[in-house]
Amino acid sequence: MSHSYRFGVNLTISASADEWNAKCRRAEELGYDVIQVPDHLGMVAPFPALVAAARATERPRLGTFVLNAGFWNPALLAREVATTDALTGGRLELGLGTGYVQAEHDAAGLPFGSPGERVAHLRRTVEELERLLGDDEYLPRPAQKSGVPLLIGGNGDRMLELTARHADIAAFTGGRTVRGSTTGQLAPITAEELDERVARYRKFAADREEPAELNLLIQMVVVSEDRETAVRPLQEYVPHLTVDRLLELPIVLAGPLEQITAQVRAQRERYGFTYLTVLEPYMEAFAPVMRALRDA
């Protein structure tokens, strides 16, 4: 089964109630299919923010992108998921990840753990959510009778195997954590490295009855005739990459509208990405790309 395009915007900037409502309505006006929120200290609390987004809008689905499993006790998380799904009228999509910012765990007084320990906790969380929310006697009840769709984000083999087994949506960040960083610094992976990661996921998912939706988090969108100038600010963060190499990254969309839409279509053919998420600063810039892709 081939999935249709879907587009999400991850709202990362805290706001007053009126400002939050206004930008959620703007996302709906622009045509985004999903309004998403992250799970980082210093940003909005995910579940109340999504309930507020539901009250401000009518159509978009609402997603966590993604919850840091290390912040959550599975039993308490099940209650939050069910309540939020009920209060949003069955519009919730649950995104989960291991968490990758040690400094946030330190600030919260929570153990960070090794990569293997974090994946193991995420696995236990997913399995417990499935057990609890799949029980007809469980209260509170989510609104979606078929279950809240699950997105899992990650690139490592253990994460890809977990995603293949449990997730309705497989999310790829296009980056990896810089070794030794406690602040969650990410380094982009090349198009060829992403080829290998997606192929690895497909191997793990070979026996699935229904293929998962594949998601990619886009880090930059600039509609411009001058592609090189558009991406030069990124070199501050990845000085080892030339401008030409930056322009080849799957997570960077820069250039004339026609070229960007062609890149998105090419990446759909190459990797299978039909669900794209952009960060809040690029919400307006990506809107004409969405329209062009839908009109094609």
SS (H, E, C) the chain: CCCCCEEEEECCCCCCHHHHHHHHHHHHHHCCCEEEECCCCCCCCHHHHHHHHHHHCCCCEEEECCEEHHHCCHHHHHHHHHHHHHHCCCCEEEEEECCCCHHHHHHHCCCCCCHHHHHHHHHHHHHHHHHHHCCCCCCCCCCCCCCCCEEEECCCHHHHHHHHHHCCEEEECCEEECCCCCCCCEEECCHHHHHHHHHHHHHHCCCCCCCCEEEEEECEEEECCCHHHHHHHHHHCCCCCCHHHHHHCCCEEEECHHHHHHHHHHHHHHHCEEEEEEEHHHHHHHHHHHHHHHHC
Q: Which residues of the chain have pLDDT under 50?
A: none
The structural domains of the chain, ordered by start, are 6-295 (3.20.20.30)
Look up the pTM and report it.
0.96
Q: What is the pLDDT of residue 1?
A: 55
Q: What is the pLDDT of residue 295?
A: 87
Q: What is the pLDDT of residue 15?
A: 97
Q: What is the pLDDT of residue 206?
A: 97
